[in-house]
A and B are shown apart, each in its own frame.
Chain A
Amino acid sequence: MTPDQIDALITALTVFTLAILVGFAVISKVPATLHTPLMSGANSIHGIVLVGAMLIAAEAHGGISQALSLIAVAFATMNVVGGYVVTDRMLQMFKKRPVAPKPAADDAETRL
Chain B
Amino acid sequence: MTALQVIEILVRIAWLAGAVAFVLGLVRMNSPATARNGNLLSAGGMAVAIVATAILIAARQQLDPVNFGIRASSWAIIVAGIVIGGGLGLYAARTVKMTAMPQLVSLFNAVGGGAAALIAIDDYLGIVRGAEVRLDTHVFIVLDIIIGSITFTGSLVASSKLQGLIPGKPILIPGGRLVTAGLAAITLVAALVLFVTGTPSLPLMLVILAAALIFGVTMTLPIGGADMPVVISLLNSFTGTAVAMAGFVIDNPVLIIAGALVGASGAILTKLMADAMNRSVINIMVGGFGGGDEAAGAAGAAAGGSVRSISADDVAIQLAYAQHVIVVPGYGLAVAQAQHAVRELADLLEERGVDVKYAIHPVAGRMPGHMNVLLAEANVPYPQLKEMDDINPEFDRADVALVIGANDVTNPAARRPGSPVSGMPILDVDHAKSIVVIKRSMGRGYAGIDNELYTNEKTGMLFADAKEGLAALTAAVKAL
A residues engaging B (CB < 8 A)? 1, 5, 8-9, 12, 15-17, 19-24, 26-61, 64-66, 68-97, 100-101, 112
Q: List 28 A-B contacts (CB under 8 A).
A: A23-B264, A24-B267, A30-B29, A32-B372, A33-B385, A33-B387, A36-B368, A38-B26, A39-B236, A39-B368, A43-B109, A44-B108, A49-B255, A53-B115, A53-B118, A54-B57, A59-B69, A64-B125, A65-B125, A68-B121, A70-B80, A75-B112, A78-B86, A85-B93, A88-B36, A89-B93, A101-B350, A101-B351
Residue B305 CB within 8 A of the other chain: no
* In contact, A1 and B89 (Cβ under 8 angstroms): no
Are the C-beta atoms of B372 and A36 separated by less than 8 Å?
A: yes
B residues less than 8 Å from A74 (CB atoms): 80-82, 84-85, 88
- Given A46-B262, A100-B350, A101-B353, check contact A40 B105 (CB 8 Å): yes
Nearest CB of B to A107, in Å:
16
A46-B111 contact given A16-B260, A19-B256, A27-B268, CB 8 Å threshold: no
CA distance A101 to B349 in the complex (A): 12
| CB <8 Å contact, A68 and B112 | no
B362 CB-CB contact with A under 8 Å: yes
Q: Decide yes or no: A96 and B46 within 8 Å by CB, A39-B236, A57-B74, A79-B108 being known contacts.
A: no
Q: Chain B nearest CB: distance from A37 CB in Å?
A: 6
Do B104 and A57 have beta carbons less than 8 Å apart? no
Bound: A65/B121 CA distance, A: 9
Whether A52 and B387, one on each chain, are in contact in the complex, defined by CB atoms closer than 8 angstroms, is no
Question: Total interface residues on B, using CB and 8 Å?
Answer: 120
A85 to B87, CA, bound (A): 12
Query: Among the listed stretches B241-249, B293-301, B324-332, which one makes contact with chain A, having 4 or more residues with CB under 8 Å of it?
Result: B241-249
6 shortest interchain CB distances as A-B pairs: A23-B264, A73-B81, A35-B369, A82-B89, A77-B85, A19-B260
At the interface, yes or no: B266 with Cβ under 8 Å from chain A? yes
Chain B, 83-120, CB within 8 A of any chain A CB: 84-86, 88-90, 92-94, 96, 98, 101, 104-105, 108-109, 111-112, 114-116, 118-119
Residue in chain B with minimal CB distance to A65: B122
Kindly list chain B residues whose C-beta atoms are within 8 Å of the C-beta of A34. 29-30, 32, 35, 369, 372
The docked-state distance in angstroms from the alpha carbon of A59 to that of B250 is 12
Q: Which residues of B contact A61 (CB under 8 A)?
A: 69
User: Which B426-461 residues sit within 8 Å CB-CB of chain A?
Assistant: none
Considering the complex, give the chain B residue whose CB is closest to the CB of A50: B50
B376 CB-CB contact with A under 8 Å: yes
Interface residues of B (CB under 8 A from A): 15, 18-19, 22-23, 25-27, 29-33, 35-36, 38-40, 42-43, 46, 49-50, 53-54, 56-57, 60-61, 68-70, 73-74, 77-78, 80-82, 84-86, 88-90, 92-94, 96, 98, 101, 104-105, 108-109, 111-112, 114-116, 118-119, 121-123, 125-126, 134, 136, 232-233, 236, 239-240, 243-244, 246-248, 250-269, 272, 350-351, 353, 360, 362, 365, 367-370, 372-373, 376-377, 379, 381-383, 385, 387
Candidates A55, A70, A76, A92; contact of B36 at CB < 8 Å: A92
A87 with B39: CB separation less than 8 A: yes
- Contact A81:B118 (CB < 8 A) given known A42-B262, A86-B104: no
A94 touches B382 (CB 8 A): yes
B26 engages A69 (CB within 8 Å)? no
A23 to chain B, nearest CB (A): 3
- Chain B residues, CB < 8 A from A24: 264, 267-268
Work out how many contacts link A and B, with CB atoms closer than 8 A.
391
Tell me if B94 and A20 are in contact (CB < 8 A). no
Centre residue among A1, A36, A59 by max chain B CB count within 10 A: A36
In the complex, the chain A residue whose C-beta lies closest to that of B382 is A94
CA distance A53 to B85 in the complex (A): 12
Min Cβ gap A72→B in Å is 4
CB-CB < 8 A to A45: which residues of B? 22, 25-26, 42, 46, 258, 261-262
Partner of A82, one of B30, B93, B121, B256: B93
- Please determine whether A52 and B104 come into contact, CB atoms closer than 8 angstroms: no
Asked whether B39 lies within 8 Å of A37 as measured between CB atoms, the reply is: yes
Task: State A70–B83 Cα separation when bound (angstroms).
Answer: 11
Residues of A contacting B81 in the complex (Cβ-Cβ under 8 angstroms): 53, 57, 69-74, 76-77
Q: Which residues of A contact B26 (CB under 8 A)?
A: 23, 26-27, 30, 38, 41-42, 45
- Measured CB to CB, the closest approach of chain A to B333, in angstroms, equals 16
B residues near A50, Cβ cutoff 8 Å: 50, 53, 115
Q: How far is the CB of A1 from chain B (nearest CB, A)?
A: 6
Are A58 and B57 CB-contacts (below 8 A) given A64-B125, A69-B77, A73-B77?
Answer: yes
Residues of A within 8 A of B122 (CB): 56, 60, 65, 68-69, 72
When distances are taken between beta carbons in the complex, the residues of chain A under 8 Å from B80 are 70, 73-74
Is A69's CB under 8 angstroms from B118's CB? yes
> Which residues of the partner chain B approach A94 to less than 8 Å between Cβ atoms?
32, 35-36, 376, 382
Q: Return chain A residues, CB-CB under 8 Å to B365.
A: 36
CB-nearest residue of chain A to B89: A82
Q: Is A32 in contact with B236, judged by CB distance below 8 angstroms?
A: no
In the complex, besides A33-B369, A85-B93, 16 extra interface pairs with C-beta distance below 8 angstroms are: A9-B136, A22-B23, A29-B27, A32-B362, A33-B360, A36-B367, A37-B39, A38-B269, A40-B101, A40-B105, A43-B109, A45-B261, A46-B243, A52-B250, A54-B53, A71-B81
